[in-house]
Amino acid sequence: MSVITHPVRKSNLATMIGSAGGISVGTALARARANLETMREQALTVIDASITALETVPAPTGPEDMSARREQAYREATSLIDAAGPFELFDLCRAAAGLCDLIGALDPEQPFDWRIVTVHARSLRLLQTLPPEAAPERAHILESLNEVVQRKLAQTG
> What one-character-per-residue DSSP string does the chain give?
-----------HHHHHHHSTT---HHHHHHHHHHHHHTTHHHHHHHHHHHHHHHHHPPPPSSHHHHHHHHHHHHHHHHHHHHHHGGGT-HHHHHHHHHHHHHHHHS-TTS---THHHHHHHHHHHHHHHS-TT-HHHHHHHHHHHHHHHHHHHHHH-
Ordered by where they begin, the domains of the chain are 23-156 (1.20.120)
Average pLDDT for the chain: 88
Where does the pLDDT of residue 22 fall: very low under 50, low under 70, confident under 90, or very high at 90 and above?
Answer: low
Give the pLDDT mean for 105-126: 91
Assess whether pLDDT exceeds 60 at residue 130: yes
Where does the pLDDT of residue 6 fall: very low under 50, low under 70, confident under 90, or very high at 90 and above?
Answer: low
pLDDT digits (tens, 9 = 90+) for 55-79: 999 999 888 889 899 999 999 999 9
